[in-house]
Amino acid sequence: MKIETRQAIDPRHAKTFDTAALRAEFLMEGLFKPGEVSLVYSHYDRLIVGGAVPSKGTLELSAAKETGTPGFLDRREAVLVNIGEAGTVTTGSGTYDLGHRDMLYVGMGDGPLGFSGGHARFYILSAPAHRKLETRLVTIDAAKRVDLGAAETSNDRSIFQFVHPDVMESCQLVVGMTTLHGGSVWNTMPAHVHDRRSEAYLYIGLPEDARVFHMMGEPGETRHLVVRNEEGILSPPWSIHCGAGTASYTFIWAMAGDNVDYKDVDMVGMEDLK
């Protein structure tokens, strides 16, 4: 298992970054390596983001010194998303079969975690928790679907809410998935910020030669990152987060912070973007 630590970056500091520095601090590459568990420990709300690709045999996630606890989930909750073919996750309380794009919420203390499935690819999200909640599998068919946007504005999309107050209870993780329909490329525009929560993005479903231009930064000081398939973004509370792709795509969004109110955002007017 490999863990990389990312420090929190002040927006005044971020203004001085060139492209290489922005990518080093906010872009997450190489999360899905065959036969490995790869994690990024972020000082934004202590989010842990990563991937597990069992490919051959079983991979285990039982402990990480960065959490300061004997077990990885002793003081944490987690959400595991299968972005590959069918796979299996074992927890302290049971075994769960995940199909493509299903999500498993794992409550505090329900470790260790085991990952198996020769063609499964597991996206890992974790945040500190304050109490134990029941581990629960939410399939994509059981997620709450919200359709937004229009083809005329290139943002016709479906939002699937998995770990969300309208579907189930969590301590602080809120996780879902947004799929852009054919011909649409924009997500989350007009933009917003939520100063009370950090967010992580994972872009999936992109052709090999396609890219997403992920927009970030303060509303009056925007930047962009060029992102490939299965690469992630750490989005600070002070930053907008939206993007446009050269082809349609899906992204998994995850939030952690002061509350679980999905609609607790500060909208940014188009006239305020620079």
Binding site membership for Zn(2+): which residues? Answer: 192, 194, 199, 241
What 3-state DSSP class applies to 243? strand
- Cα separation, 182 vs 16, in Å, equals 37
Tokens 């937004």 map to which residue?
Answer: 148
The residues, any chain, with a CB within 8 Å of residue 12's CB and separated by 6 or more, are none
The three-class DSSP label of residue 203 is strand
Sorted by sequence, the CB contacts under 8 Å of residue 15 that are 6+ apart come out as: 221
Distance between CA atoms of residues 45 and 111, nearest Å? 21
Q: CA-CA distance, 242 to 264, in Å (whole number)?
A: 17
Contacting residues for 38 by C-beta, under 8 A, at least 6 apart: 1, 2, 30, 31, 32, 50, 51, 52
At residue 215, φ and ψ (nearest 5 deg) are -90, 135
As a whole number of angstroms, the distance between CA 184 and CA 210 comes to 14
Q: Which residues are documented as binding site?
A: 192, 194, 199, 241
